[in-house]
Amino acid sequence: MTARIPVRKRLLVRLLIATVLIAVCSVAATAWLAVETTTRALREEQGQVLAEDMDVLARLSGYAATHPDWRGVEETVRALSARTGRRIALTTPDRRTIADSAPPGTSLPPRAAATIDPLRTDTYTERGAQRSGLDPRVVGPYLLPAGERVRLDELATARQQCYARNGYETTVLRTPSGRPVLSDEKGAVAAGYVPDECADGRLNTPTPTEKKALSELTERSWDCLERNGVSAGRDLFVAVDINERRIGTRYLMGKVGRPGDPESLRKAESCADAARRAQLDPYVAPVAELFLGGGDTTAVRFDMSPANKAKVVGAAGLVLAVTVAVTAVVATRLVRPLRALTEAAQQPPELHVRVPVTTRDETGILAAAFNELTERRERLEAQRKAMVSDIAHELRSPLTNIRGWLEVTRDGVVAPAPALLASLHEEALVLQRVIDDLQDLAAADAGTLRLHREPVRADDLLGQVAAAHRVAADTAGVTLRTTADGTPWLDADPVRMRQALGNLVSNALRHTPADGTVTLTAQRDGDFVVLDVTDTGTGIDAEDLPYVFDRFWRAEKSRSRRTGGSGLGLPIVRHLVAAHGGTVDAASEPGAGSVFTLRLPAAEAPD
């Protein structure tokens, strides 16, 4: 069953929604309690707010991102200390003082409040947060001169106007490097879609300054790429993401490694990231430790009040209750149809029990697939019973004849004349043919049908089959012809192909009246050779045509072996052709004849 499930009905989506609801409730409750308790306690006990700390960190990170060293930072530190009323100190990682708002000799707090490293920490992109990654204010050699800025501003304005004509309202923002970027209210213009009218590529092309910096970055990346066995073009970075403000992800990489190899892309990105930090390192101040707060004493710790503790416990209990309730409801709805499937699967197989399909999600598809499997099993059981009955019928008739004549001969009622022995021999041959056909079908079903392939001339193959059935055709008064377009060659087992074509010719002769014609043709069609067996016989009704390759099927409902054969010839043809990697099709028009077409792999003519 391949019906598309609506997104809102998918089991995964429903579980994700339930999980998100629980997570949102938990995060919302936790965030509210954290803000309510820690903010009040910090204001009362420490006399400052987290926002001021983050502002200090952001200001000093910005200084480090735009200066190659810490010289001159004392004035900034004193200004921040005067505004916040707190001590601010900067030191090297080994505690050597860089700048301190406190008098000389004042001891530092026991722990640093933060580490300032603009090459590994971003305090600019998201207000009040420390994100891992490159600070966008670190531009280094990517800083654009005035002329390039003016040119890019013109291109950005043109792109903005083009977007507006296509129904997207955008704004133009300027990054620290001077490059303008387009943004909308969601932060990603048109969700990444660019109208054809606007996709001129000029704003996405690096400027000369950027190209120079990117070329240097590419050279720095090469040693790492070679060590990791990643191949890349000489220009590693080929385009600019005009919606991205951060240098680390603004310049898009070209093709690296082998297509479809995510490991090569990961290694290339890692190499480029390391090279980018090495490239920008001379333009930023060294890593420093930031200390905030008092001198000899540690920061005052606060204790949560009983009222706040009660709030935390109550909110946690409420979230837990909601989680249990939502999980119970979702689990019950999911388990109910699965239980129905389990009960149906445990029923006796002869009942062929179905289950109701009540949903359109994965469980509903599973129920529908279970019902289809039950129907197929029921059909296969019916086919198995019919096949056993057909085999019994096919074997009973010749065995009954042989037994009857042998009994009357044994009793002396009939003398063992040559005609009687010939009749018994004919019945034994019929029995042998049925058994041989069943054996061939069993080998084909088991995948043990052996083929001895070799190049075979199609015209010779048709001639051999026609010669083998010439006497039968003359006896029936049917003209047997062969034609071939050129000398096509087959890659086939000649014995098996003579057997397949022989079955088709036998059927055609059996159903073609006197003065009729049976024609065998061969022609090359690309990588295949097409063999046709065409007769001018009685034809096959349209409603019977889909069943001609079924076992024991006969067009004559009387099931006469004299006119309809054993019903195994065409199934054997289908299996033999499939074993050769080909196909067989039948077309017919009642009263006008039938055409059986075999498409088999072609072979080149041997030297």
The pLDDT score that the predictor gives to residue 172 is 87
From first CA to last CA, the distance across the chain in angstroms is: 51
Place 301 in a pLDDT band, splitting at 50, 70 and 90: very low
Place 160 in a pLDDT band, splitting at 50, 70 and 90: confident
More confident residue, 520 or 329: 520
Q: Which of 107-111, 198-202, 531-535 has the lowest mean pLDDT?
A: 198-202
- pLDDT for residue 562 is more than 50: no
- pLDDT for residue 457 is more than 60: yes
**Sign (positive or negative) of CA dihedral 76, 80, 86, 89:** negative
* 3-class SS string, 68-126: CCCCCHHHHHHHHHHHHCCCEEEECCCCCEEEECCCCCCCCCCCCCEEECCCCEECCCC
More confident residue, 486 or 258: 486
Place 442 in a pLDDT band, splitting at 50, 70 and 90: low
Q: What is the pLDDT of residues 35-60, one digit of tens each?
A: 777 666 655 554 445 677 788 888 88
Q: What is the pLDDT of residues 185-201, one digit of tens each?
A: 666 565 567 777 887 77
The pLDDT score that the predictor gives to residue 297 is 40
Dihedral (Cα; 540, 545, 551, 552), 10-degree rounding = -30
Burial class (CB in 10 A: 0-12, 13-18, 19+), 308: middle
* 3-class SS string, 445-473: HHCCCCCCCEEEEHHHHHHHHHHHCHHHH
The pLDDT score that the predictor gives to residue 523 is 92
Tokens of 499: 């057997």
What domains can be seen in the chain, in order of their start residue? 140-283 (no CATH), 362-441 (1.10.287.130), 449-601 (3.30.565.10)
Q: Average pLDDT of the chain?
A: 79
Rounded to whole angstroms, how far apart are CA atoms 507 and 556? 13
Q: What percent of the chain has pLDDT over 70?
A: 79
Q: Which of 138-152, 420-434, 485-499 has the lowest mean pLDDT?
A: 420-434
- pLDDT for residue 532 is more than 90: yes
The pLDDT score that the predictor gives to residue 39 is 67
Q: What is the pLDDT of residues 162-177, one digit of tens each?
A: 888 888 888 888 888 8
Rounded to whole angstroms, how far apart are CA atoms 249 and 236? 13
- pLDDT for residue 520 is more than 90: yes
- pLDDT for residue 294 is more than 80: no
Angle between helices 208-227 and 262-280 (to 10 degrees): 120
Q: Report, as an integer, the average pLDDT of 549-560.
A: 56
- The DSSP bridge pattern shows strands 479-484 and 517-525 to be parallel
Q: Report, as an integer, the average pLDDT of 368-391.
A: 74
